[in-house]
Chain A
Amino acid sequence: MKHYDEEMLEEVLRDPQTWANVDALRGQSARFQQALALKARIDAEDDAAARLLSPLLRSPLRFRNAAIAHNPQAQTAGVVRYLCAAAHERHEKRPQFSLELTLCAYDVALSLGPETSASQHFCMALSLRERANALRYLGRFTEALEALDSAEKLFDEAPAADPHDIAIVQYIRATVFVEIDRLEEARVASRDAARIFRQYGDRPRELTALLAEATSLHFGGRNSEAAKVYERVAAKAREDADRSVLARALNGVANACLELEKLDEAESSLIEALVIFDELDLATERARVTWSLALLHVRRGDLAEGATRLDAARAELQRLGLVNDHALSTLDWAWARLAVGEAADVAEACRRIVVRFESEGMMKSARIALAHLHEALAAGTATPTLVSEVRKYLEFLPSHPDARFIFRAHL
């Protein structure tokens, strides 16, 4: 709590500006009344939107049948705001439904008249930005970038607020760039976003943007730089007691350290991250860190212990429905088992691998790569190298959807 000592207080009390400020505070201006009226209007719109939409959001079918975009009562900025917030909450678990919500929000924004509490362009921009987020979760990256471009143009109107709004656009863009392997663009976009968030005192978003920057460095193989950025984020998150960001940053530090063969540092970061994810009850993140810890044993050459832990980790990933992570961790486990010459159960476990990609083309490519593996396992000719090649191929397939599986050992 700030302390105002008597001497300082008396000095301020003698300052004429202080008393001018007092008079200004006591005389409520017409503008203040306008602001209160705007707030009342926004509150009323938001209340009405919540009443109208919350029962409909329980199921996509119910929402679809309500045809909100054609309901004259729903043509308000409050409905756009509510739909965008509802979509934002559903991106991870129900991205298809969240996309539908943002498309509806955009249709509503298009039909807004001048009487609503926010400008039509702002509402359109808001819904496009959220649409991009949904598309990102669905892996439709080209469309996501198009939506972000349109949102940015529409935001470009209010000088006071737009840099922050556009920084959010930039941050989403950076995460899309990471996914499609445009890493330098990702780095620049995330750094720009972080700078603006800092200017607006938005520390959580600043740290998240820095995490995106670090990830782009990590994926680009610039692991020393990535580790430094991750460590900077971890230090700031620790300062802010932001455990969620701290855990993600520590996880990043560990991943970069693993690539740099700094295994002890990686381990200590992973342990700390694990504790926090556990405390936050983030089961999926916890399962992924457990997987990384198991891999650490493999990297240290303790293959038997690594395989045991990988077996437990992949079971947990499967239990959580993380289909692709389960596939990759099973391949890690298969690699370790084959490396120690214990091939029993490997073929069976690999046969149960399921992968899920958005496009049919990617699914077909993944099936071809897995078929190579199944064939070799059945024939008893599978090697750790083949397993490793299939794993690498599946891991990078989303960012290289047109790549074909070629087993390099045969070249």
Chain B
Amino acid sequence: MHRETRLQRVIETLGLKPLHIVREAQRLAVALERPSISRQHFLRCRTGRSAATEDKIYIIVAAMRSVTGLLFRPSDLFELEPQAGGSDQRTDWVRRSIVSQESGATDRFESLYTEYGLLLRTIAMRRYHVPPDDAEALVHDIFAAYLERSAYVRDAKGWLIGAIGNASSNYIRKRRPEAQLLPEHEEAIDGSAEARIEGWMRHVTIAAMLSRLGDKCRETLRRYYLREESKEAIAEHLDTSPAYVLQLLVTCRKRAQEILRSLSGRQE
């Protein structure tokens, strides 16, 4: 037996055709890029056979408004749990933006400095040909500027990359007034530059991963890939067997992929 839901009551009271609502919901879902709803699911929601999810409530409310022109609220159509309240949003915002009280804020800044710092230095050196020492100084100044502005910088990565571009261009103009800035140095980052930066970012992420790996893994990978030492030579150095070295390489690569996954997830 079905219980009468608010949605069903409204539909009956206004004499609406469920199919019209579903069609409108499907049209709005496409336009809003939100999950759509099927006729069957809509039927289950209005007869109370299944509880509507937040997405379904959203799209049904939108469709009901669109079909009737009436300003329904979700609670007019669905039985919703009261919102948990209590906190002063404004105060929370000021605290969040101004006071770094959350635990780990310094850790996050350390990661930002070490990982993005490397990327920024790479951009300054490879894209603008700033000498390494000066590139490091520019990066440091940018992080100092970032710290002063962190309350209103919304996308740290974008801001830092924009800032290094500007600081490097400025550096070139000051140090080598005779040198022309190349078109790729000017204005917004175009597609190819973005792809290059993505490539550098990948390198930097892998470097960050390697720096987090245990000493034994890191040095084994360095010997095997960079120095192209044979597994026998590595085995001798580690005072173990070549078979163990092979096993070690498999384990280290697996661990490396795990760290990479966590690093990539954090950056996104």
Contact = CB atoms under 8 A, between A and B. Distances in A.
B203 A272 contact: no
A368 interface: no
A408 interface: no
A286 B33 CA distance: 21
Interface residues of A, number: 74
Given A36-B110, A85-B98, A89-B90, A14 B225 contact: yes
Interface stretch (B14-22, B37-45, B152-160): B152-160
Interface stretch (A39-47, A251-259, A396-404): A39-47
Contacts of A160: 138, 141-142, 145, 163-164, 166-167, 170
Interface in B183-206: 187-189, 202-206
Contacts of B100: 43, 46
Contacts of B260: 4, 9
A290 B207 CA distance: 55
A18 B122 CA distance: 11
Secondary structure of the A contact surface, majority rule: helix
B7 interface: no
A67 interface: no
Interface in B113-171: 113-115, 117-118, 122, 136-138, 140-149, 151-155, 157-159, 161-167, 170
A49 B98 contact: yes
Q: Which of B62, B95, B98, B142 has the most CB of A within 10 A?
A: B98
Contact of A200 (B113, B147, B148, B163): B163
A19 B226 contact: yes
Contacts of A40: 106
Contact of B256 (A9, A50, A200, A290): A9
A102 interface: no
Interface string A256-276: 000000000000000110110
A-B interface, 4 closest residue pairs, ranked by CB to CB distance from nearest: A201-B158, A200-B162, A21-B207, A13-B225
Interface of A: 1-2, 4, 6, 8-10, 12-19, 21-22, 24-26, 28-29, 31-32, 34-36, 38-40, 42-43, 46-47, 49-50, 54, 77, 81-82, 85-86, 89, 117-118, 122, 158-161, 163-165, 168, 195, 198-205, 238, 241, 271-272, 274-275, 278-279, 286, 290, 293
